[in-house]
Amino acid sequence: MLGLFSEFEDDFAEAGLAGIPAQTTQVLNEDELIALLPEYDGWIIGDDPASRRVIAAAKAGKLRAAVKWGVGVDNVDFPAFKDLGIPVENTPGVFGAEVADVALTYAVGLARETYRIDREIRQNNAWPKPSGISMAGRKVALVGFGDIGRQTARRIAACGSHLIVYDPAFVPTEGLDVELATWPDRIGEADFIIFTCPLTPQTRGIFNHDLLARLKPGVRVVNVARGPVIVEGALIDGLRSGLVHSAALDVFEVEPLQADSPLREFDKCIFGSHNGSNSADAVRRVSRIAIGKIRRLLGLN
């Protein structure tokens, strides 16, 4: 939203609001938020730490409502909002197609090493010819079957892959032929593991050192969910041993990816910048939803 903020001036004005963009590329820290938020009536939350400490400081000032922009809510203390009497909502089900597009391109990129070929041509004037693997006939473990998971499943199924789905809240979807399993049963069958699940106490660190012994040699790993779903030390061990062929990560335990991260050692890997949902079309759509929600929560309808 920040990148296109000037486009929403009329939307804010029509809602009876003045929209002020935060001076940051990704997030503000708690102290920065505590210094800033008490001056505002409403807060459209990004990936910032919406903690009890921050919310209490904002409540002591002018803050009366908040909206979490986007789907992920692991950074938002909803009980604190409730306890302090500040209404808050998110914008669910809005980025499934966009994130699924990235998940598909990452999976195919790992299968055929297209990203690495591009880097070698550009950076080393090389002409590599890796054979890669086909997506058709491969088994894909899909962890999470919400909106993003279902959209990803449609795209992966179109490649001719077989899907094993892990989600305790699984609901069958017409037109999607998938097999349901309980994590981590059958994970050793998977040629790909794709994470599209929310970050919860149950999914935090779900890919860990104990899991490595169960994996199929040569498995490829994609994460478009949240960084802490994967214990990076375990993934690094898997990559170093060759057990894990490669990984495509749009998210990390610490963001931005640290300059000294051992993940940078592996040239077959693909890295993103927590940008899976960021198409201009989706940003415009979700930003206008958020503005409408903050207007309603502030009683300006």
Same domain, 65 and 159: no
Same domain, 68 and 194: no
pLDDT at 26 over 90: no
Q: And the tokens for 129? A: 């010819």
CB 268 within 8 A of CB 116: yes
Alpha-helical regions (H) of the chain = 9-14, 30-36, 52-60, 78-83, 96-112, 114-124, 147-158, 209-212, 232-241, 280-297
67 has which bridge partners?
44, 89
CB 230 within 8 A of CB 215: no
139-143 sheet: strands from edge to edge:
179-180, 162-166, 139-143, 192-195, 219-223, 244-249, 270-271
pLDDT (tens digit per residue) in 134-192? 999 999 999 999 999 999 999 999 999 999 999 999 999 999 999 999 999 999 999 99
Out of 226, 232, 253, 295, pick the active-site residue. 226
- Please state, in angstroms and as integers, the Cα–Cα distance from residue 276 to each residue in 109, 163, 170, 236, 238, following that order: 15, 21, 23, 22, 24
Residue 127: domain span: 96-271
Same domain, 156 and 44: no
Three-state secondary structure string covering 162-182: EEEEECCCCCCCCCCCCEECC
List of residues 6+ apart from 67 with CB closer than 8 A? 42, 43, 44, 45, 88, 89, 90, 91, 290, 293, 294, 297
Mean pLDDT of 37-43: 98
The predicted pLDDT at position 301 comes to 74
Same domain, 136 and 248: yes
CATH number of the domain bearing residue 199: 3.40.50.720
DSSP state of 4: G
Out of 9, 14, 179, 255, pick the active-site residue. 255
Same domain, 80 and 192: no
| Residue 120 is among the residues annotated as catalytic for this protein | no
Q: Terminal CA-to-CA distance of the chain, rounded, Å?
A: 22
| Residue 226 is among the residues annotated as catalytic for this protein | yes
The predicted pLDDT at position 53 comes to 98
Same domain, 133 and 237: yes
Mean pLDDT of 196-210: 97
Same domain, 26 and 156: no
Same domain, 61 and 115: no
Same domain, 229 and 288: no
Distance (Å, rounded) from C-alpha 299 to C-alpha 252?
38
The predicted pLDDT at position 25 comes to 82
Same domain, 183 and 197: yes
User: Considering its fold, how many domains does the chain have in total?
Assistant: 2
pLDDT (tens digit per residue) in 90-113? 999 999 999 999 999 999 999 999
Element containing residue 44 per DSSP (H, E):
strand 42-45
Mean pLDDT of 231-260: 97
Out of 138, 150, 245, 274, pick the active-site residue. 274
The predicted pLDDT at position 30 comes to 98
Across the chain, mean pLDDT equals 97
Same domain, 51 and 166: no
| Residue 255 is among the residues annotated as catalytic for this protein | yes
pTM above 0.75, yes or no: yes
pLDDT (tens digit per residue) in 271-301? 999 999 999 999 999 999 999 999 999 999 7
In the chain, the percentage of residues whose pLDDT exceeds 70 is 100
List of residues 6+ apart from 274 with CB closer than 8 A? 26, 47, 250, 251, 252, 255
Same domain, 105 and 247: yes
Mean pLDDT of 56-74: 96
Helices then strands, counting H and E runs in the chain, come out as: 10, 10
